[in-house]
């Protein structure tokens, strides 16, 4: 059973709130899973926005199940696979594929210094293509609209690989101090160091920080020694390091 089949099975078996944030470019529904303990804080955790990084979809399902079983406070929305079309491409055709069905890199298609990243390209490609304009893609519009409707207090995006955490996007003063404290707590829980993303732009994390002015993290999982796509045999060890992330966020926000 591949990750897309497992996600469908997980949706069928999930007995708490669930639904869809919207559609992919190929018309596939993007599922979410909701775990509500208390009304505050609200968390969005999104995964596999990059196709070849679908190991994170497994982590999303594992975190949702774990938080349902032992979470004490907060409401968390888990979106295990934003880029379903791209995952299919990576599974069945090109294992290093990163973009969506229209060859747009979804994590550079958000309206946050769009087009200003050091690696951005303006032509269709398997990675780094920014799209025709911000939110040109069904997937980024769906995630944007869902985020605006949910009004989260914090978001976390899961990527692979490198075992590090990114938390900055030009915030300063009180907001920077707040976000650093939250990021440091997650760093302590995972053992992953905090890093600067340098000249990156247009990501979901970036948009959440710049436009919504909320703390947002990008967590890169899996050792740099591993190759894309990271095999499912590594899911348990990755989950073990990230098991407390959602719980920590509910305590620190």
Q: Is the pLDDT of residue 197 over 80?
A: no
Peptide bond into 36 cis (omega under 30): no
Percent of the chain at pLDDT above 70?
100
Is the pLDDT assigned to residue 120 strictly greater than 80? yes
208-219 average pLDDT score: 98
154 vs 22: CA distance, rounded Å? 21
- SS3 for 189-249 is HHCCCEECCCCCCCCHHHHHHHHHCCCEEEEECCCCCCCCCCCHHHHHHHHHHHCCHHHHH
Residue 206 has pLDDT above 80, yes or no: yes
Q: What is the model's pLDDT at position 172?
A: 96
The encoded tokens of residue 181 equal 């404290």
Mean pLDDT, range 181-209, rounded to an integer? 95
pLDDT digits (tens, 9 = 90+) for 221-243: 999 999 999 999 999 999 999 99
Q: What is the mean pLDDT of the chain?
A: 97
Checking if the pLDDT of 212 tops 80, the result is: yes
Whether the pLDDT of residue 131 is over 90: the answer is: yes
User: Which residues, other chains included, contact 219 with Cβ-Cβ below 8 Å and sequence gap of 6+?
Assistant: 156, 157, 158, 159, 164, 165, 186, 190, 192, 242, 245
pLDDT number for residue 196: 86
3-252 topology per CATH: Aminopeptidase (3.40.630)
As a three-state string, the secondary structure of 36-73 is ECCCCCEEEEEECCCHHHCHHHHHHHHHHHHHHHHCCC
- Strand 154-159 and strand 216-220: pairing? parallel
Alpha carbon separation from 184 to 123, 181, 195, 203 (Å, rounded) = 37, 5, 11, 21
Determine phi and psi for 144, rounding to 5 degrees: -60, -50
């Amino acid at each position: 059973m591949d990750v897309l089949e497992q996600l469908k099975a997980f949706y069928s078996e999930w007995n708490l709130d669930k639904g869809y944030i919207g559609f992919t470019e190929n018309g596939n529904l993007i599922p979410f899973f909701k775990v509500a303990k208390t009304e505050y804080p609200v968390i969005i955790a999104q995964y596999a926005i990059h196709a070849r990084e679908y190991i994170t979809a497994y982590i999303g399902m594992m975190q949702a199940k774990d938080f349902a079983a032992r979470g004490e406070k907060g409401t968390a929305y888990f979106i295990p696979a934003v880029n379903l079309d791209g995952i299919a491409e990576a599974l069945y055709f090109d294992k290093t594929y990163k973009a969506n069905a229209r060859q747009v890199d979804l994590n550079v298609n958000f309206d946050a210094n769009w087009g200003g990243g050091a690696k951005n390209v303006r032509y269709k490609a398997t990675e780094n293509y920014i799209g025709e304009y911000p939110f040109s893609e069904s997937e980024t519009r769906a995630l944007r609209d869902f985020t605006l409707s949910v009004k989260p207090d914090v978001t976390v995006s899961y990527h692979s690989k490198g075992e590090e955490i990114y938390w900055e996007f030009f915030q300063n003063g009180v907001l920077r101090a707040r976000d650093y404290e939250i990021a440091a707590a997650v760093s302590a829980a995972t053992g992953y160091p905090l890093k600067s993303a340098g000249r990156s732009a247009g990501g979901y994390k970036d948009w959440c920080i710049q436009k919504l002015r909320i703390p947002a993290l990008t967590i890169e999982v899996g050792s740099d020694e591993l190759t894309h796509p990271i095999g499912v045999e590594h899911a348990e060890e990755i989950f073990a390091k990230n098991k407390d992330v959602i719980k920590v966020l509910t305590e620190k926000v």
